[in-house]
Amino acid sequence: MGLNFFKNTVLLLVLTIFSCGSSTEKKEQREERKENQVANAKTQDDTLASFGDQEIVVGAEQFQLYSDLLKDKNVGVVANQTSFLESENQHLVDFLISKNVSVKKVFAPEHGFRGTADAGEHVKDGVDSKTGVPLISLYGSNKKPSQEQLKGIDVVIFDIQDVGARFYTYISTLHYVMEACAEAGISVVVLDRPNPNGHYIDGPILEAENQSFVGMHPIPIVHGMTIAEYAKMINGEGWLKNSVRCELSVISMKNYNHKMEYSLPIKPSPNLPNAQSINLYPSLCFFEGTFINAGRGTDMQFQVFGAPSLPASKYNFTYTPQSNEGAKNPKFKGELCYGKDLRNEPKLKKINLKWLIDAYNANGRKKDFFNSFFVKLAGTEKLQQQIEQGLTAEEIRATWKEGLNEFGKVRAKYLLYK
């Protein structure tokens, strides 16, 4: 009996060792596979972002979820160059037509259907040479679709990549499209896409008296919402004219959250060429309301800033703006500018006011520093006044806290993702 017990004990011990070894090997294999999946997602192919071992699937890619909304309908599409299906290697308009969807009109926002027009440049109506579909500009003689332009349309699809800043005008176009469709009894379908600045909210809240096309709603400069979440907020908060409500459907993304990194596969406008420019845009766009050049007329748009009058002793980076795509007549065209190069700046998680304040104090032209556009961008007169009064960035930021807290409560009601 003692011998049998000894044999059984040894056998059990051997089996346990092999079992543990096998388990450890499987665990290591799982970990290695997961590491490889994550590594593969972070390669040079920036068309998709990683969520664990899964990929973001944007709204446009999920045709099965919105095909019934378009069946036997005359469809209008609000689109630009970012309205692209990576899985099909096709523009949304081309894809819909290939699926026998009756696309009757395409509405184009600022920068046009192909995204090559200057900021602020009027975009003309026309016809898409590839499909023959009529193109209607929403950045020409009218920014809101007219009832005549919507005639014969049953449903409008909105699929445009936003960058999460209040003064980026695609959300203003969204407002006017929703408003016009609500008035005409036309439904709107928003196909959602990631917000590359969705990881934070920051900035002063827009005041009603400073409403314009670069700021239409009482939100901070960085709102931290996707385009579909924002559409839900416009509708839910009664921001459309006469508090009309749009018949709204949204197609959410799969495998997305607000904290994840996302590099846009197609630049959203001519002067936002890469991830760094998009991240710096909410901070550097303030310079558009001053005489400082923010990189327009270079291939470093919204990654550098400068002016001929900034002191070379402090601003030792130099560049000379010239005409290029998206900036036919940039500030200080052909003039040597002294400034800062921010191309290697770490990723921002809040608006940087220090660059603006330092440039104001250093330029020697304080009286001429700001122009009338600055208040529209800021959404309030207070920011310019605070800088002129000599407040520090920290002191200014402290005055935003209450407004941001209140906005956060409103924002929470419309979030589709964590």
For the chain, which residues make up each domain, given as ranges?
59-263, 275-380
The pair of structure tokens assigned to 125 is 């109506």
What's the pTM?
Answer: 0.85
Tens place of pLDDT for every residue, the chain, 418 residues? 444 444 444 343 333 333 333 333 333 433 433 333 333 333 333 333 434 457 999 999 999 999 999 999 999 999 999 999 999 999 999 999 999 999 999 999 886 776 454 555 555 668 887 888 999 999 888 999 999 999 999 999 999 999 999 999 999 999 999 999 999 999 999 999 999 999 999 999 999 999 999 999 999 999 999 999 999 999 999 999 999 999 999 999 999 999 998 889 999 999 999 999 999 999 999 999 999 999 999 999 999 999 999 999 999 999 999 999 889 999 999 999 999 999 999 999 999 999 999 999 998 889 999 999 999 999 999 999 999 999 999 999 999 999 999 999 999 999 999 9
- Domain 59-263: CATH superfamily, name plus number: Uncharacterised protein PF07075, DUF1343 (3.40.50.12170)
CA gap 128, 26 in Å, rounded: 55
CB 286 within 8 A of CB 374: yes
* Pairwise CA distance, residues 401 & 394, whole Å: 11
Q: How far apart are CA 134 and CA 202, in angstroms?
A: 39
Q: At 359, list the tokens.
A: 């440039």
In 3-state terms, what secondary structure has residue 401? Answer: helix
The answer to whether 147 and 179 are in contact (CB under 8 A) is: no
Phi, psi of 217 (to 5 degrees): -130, 155
Q: Are residues 85 and 164 in contact, defined by beta-carbon separation less than 8 angstroms? A: no
Q: Helix 170-184 to helix 227-236 angle, to the nearest 10 degrees?
A: 50
Answer for the pair 179, 241: CB distance below 8 angstroms, yes or no: yes
Residue 79 and residue 259 in contact, taking contact as beta carbons nearer than 8 Å: no
Q: Residue 360: which of 292, 284, 302 has the closest Cα?
A: 292
